[in-house]
């Protein structure tokens, strides 16, 4: 199992001047960092890849698609634009020598139609995501992991069962499920059953506390969570995705209205230590 941290705990838009963050992440004990590719044209991919490789830090990427790139939009122009944008992100992810492109990569992040998803939206999503996955499989080694998010951020995929059905219908081997404990605790009836339902289709994990604070300080059933991961043989990424009020725009977008740690470094280091301890204790007691 490998442990990662999210870029936006430290900075919103990563530039070449932010490369020392990679050193900090490595010094804190993480195996990798997850970048959000909101601005792919200006992202310093080559410099990031070289620096990460020089210090033994791995990379994953993510996106929350915008309205103009929404793969389930009723506007065919937006859907086509979204497919081409996703192909660009796949290529950039490969350029970074990254393994996974995760997040809300199948619909507009925050897009809510005001009603339950429709069969037409489902067809649009499956067809568009399948095209992206086929492109990724033909030209890269990138896996596309579909993140299950809560009802306030999307009406499309809110539970693991829907994500499994979605990737099954996409039908490409590089399409996998991305689970996030922050969303799971709001939507799933049972952590263990959700993870077991995904099984070998689980490709990526966010380890986030129920209030987005330091893992171990909230309501997430962490022992159950890690036991379930072990039961399906998951040994991939466990990435802390948390944010602080220090990044005002990120805090606004993610609704972080109170201070959850004294610093990003505290949240990262204490969260990592807690997650490793829970996982280690389970192994000792097995």
- Please tell me whether residue 48 adopts helix, strand or coil conformation: helix
d(CA 99, CA 93): 8
**Tokens describing residue 184:** 């799971």
Residue 129's alpha-carbon distances to 20, 55, 73, 133, 221, in angstroms, are: 35, 34, 13, 6, 32
d(CA 111, CA 20): 34
- Cα torsion for 149, 130, 60, 255, to the nearest 10°? -20
Cα 264 to its chain centre, rounded Å, is 19
153, 188, 209, 241: which one is catalytic?
A: 241
Nearest CA to 57 out of 18, 31, 21 is that of 31
> How many Å from the N-terminal Cα to the C-terminal Cα in the chain?
17
Residue 34 annotated among the catalytic residues of the structure:
no
Residue 106: phi and psi, rounded to 5, are -125, -10
Residue 27 annotated among the catalytic residues of the structure:
no
**Tokens describing residue 169:** 């219908």
Residue 191's alpha-carbon distances to 110, 180, 186, in angstroms, are: 24, 11, 11
58, 131, 147, 188: which one is catalytic?
A: 147
Active site residues: 147, 241
């Amino acid at each position: 199992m490998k442990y990662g941290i999210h870029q936006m705990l430290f900075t919103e838009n990563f530039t070449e001047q932010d490369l020392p963050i990679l050193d900090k992440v490595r010094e804190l004990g993480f195996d990798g960092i997850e970048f959000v590719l909101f601005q792919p044209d200006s992202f310093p991919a080559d410099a990031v890849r070289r620096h990460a490789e020089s210090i033994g830090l791995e990379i994953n990427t993510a996106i929350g698609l915008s309205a103009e790139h929404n793969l389930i939009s009723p506007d065919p122009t937006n859907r086509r634009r979204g497919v081409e944008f996703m192909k660009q992100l796949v290529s950039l992810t490969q350029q970074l020598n990254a393994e996974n492109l995760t997040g809300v990569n199948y619909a507009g992040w925050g897009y809510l139609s005001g009603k339950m998803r429709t069969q037409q939206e489902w067809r649009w999503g499956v067809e568009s995501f399948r095209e992206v996955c086929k492109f990724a499989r033909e030209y890269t080694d990138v896996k596309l992991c579909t993140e299950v998010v809560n009802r306030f951020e999307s009406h499309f995929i809110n539970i693991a069962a829907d994500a499994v059905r979605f990737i099954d219908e996409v039908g490409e081997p590089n399409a996998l499920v991305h689970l996030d404990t922050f969303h799971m605790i709001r939507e799933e009836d049972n952590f263990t059953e959700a993870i077991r339902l995904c099984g070998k289709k689980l490709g990526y994990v966010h380890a986030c506390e129920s209030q987005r604070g330091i893992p171990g300080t909230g309501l997430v059933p962490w022992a159950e969570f890690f036991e379930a991961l072990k039961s399906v043989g998951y040994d991939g990424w466990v990435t802390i995705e948390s944010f602080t009020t220090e990044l005002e725009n990120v805090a606004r977008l993610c609704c972080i209205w109170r201070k959850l740690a004294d610093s990003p470094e505290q949240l990262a280091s204490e969260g990592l230590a807690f997650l490793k301890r829970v996982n280690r204790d389970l192994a000792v007691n097995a």
